[in-house]
Amino acid sequence: MSDTFRIGAFQFLIKPIDKDEFRKDFNRAIEQYKVNNYRYIVKYKDSTATLEIKDIIYIEAYNRHLFIFDGINRYECIGKLKDEEKKLSFYGFVRCHQGFLINMAYIKIIDKTLILLKNGDNVPISKRLRSKVMEDFNRFITRNIV
C-alpha cells in the first residue's frame, strides 16, 4: 500500500473486475483527471499564459475585458464572462454577480452582499444570483467531501 502513495496512484480497480463497475470507475477516473489537469489559456496582445484551473480564484469582467486572478498575478484578455462561465462551470466555477465568476474551492464565507474568499478578497454577490450560488456551493461541498 505504501508503494501506491509513492507512485501517486489516484484510482484503483478491485478484482474480480465487474464490467459495469469498471465502466463507472473508469469514467469517474477520467472525469477526475480532466478536473485535475485542465489548462486555461489566456491570450492578450503578444503574450500567452497557461494556468491550471485549480489556481484560478476568480474572473472579473469589465468593458469586454476579462481579468483572471490566481492569487499572485492578474491576467487580462478580451472575452465574455458568459462564455467563460459555460467553459468553467464543470470545474467548480459559479457566476455570483454580473461581472464575477468565482472558483467555489476558494469560498470562505457567503454573506448577504459579499463573498469572502480564502485569499482575503471580497467579491460581490447579487440578490438575483444568491440562491443559485448557495445551491451550487452546497452541491460542490457535498461532492468534494464525499
What is the enclosing helix (H) or strand (E) of 133? helix 127-145
Report whether 51 contacts 39 (CB < 8 A): yes
Helix, strand, coil percent content, the chain, rounded in steps of 5: 40, 30, 25
What average pLDDT is seen over the chain? 87
pLDDT tens figures, 27-76: 777 777 776 667 888 888 888 998 988 899 999 999 999 999 998 999 99
The predicted structure's pLDDT at residue 4: 62
At 40, give phi and psi (nearest 5°): -110, 120
pTM of the model: 0.76
Per the listing, cell 468534494 goes with: 144
Q: What is the pLDDT of residue 146?
A: 45
- Average confidence (pLDDT) over 117-130: 96
Would you say residue 144 has pLDDT above 60? yes
Question: Which range in 2-11, 95-104, 134-143 is most confidently predicted, on average pLDDT?
Answer: 95-104
pLDDT above 50: residue 14: yes
Rounded Cα distance between 111 and 123, Å, is: 10
Which three cell numbers, joined as nine digits, stand for 116?
469572502
pLDDT for res 101: 98
CA distance 141 to 98: 23
Residue 21 pLDDT: 79
Task: Fill in the amino acid letter for 45.
Answer: K
pLDDT in tens, 94-115: 999 999 999 999 999 999 999 9
Return the percentage of the chain with pLDDT > 70, whole number.
Answer: 86
The span from the CA of 61 to the CA of 109, in Å, is 22
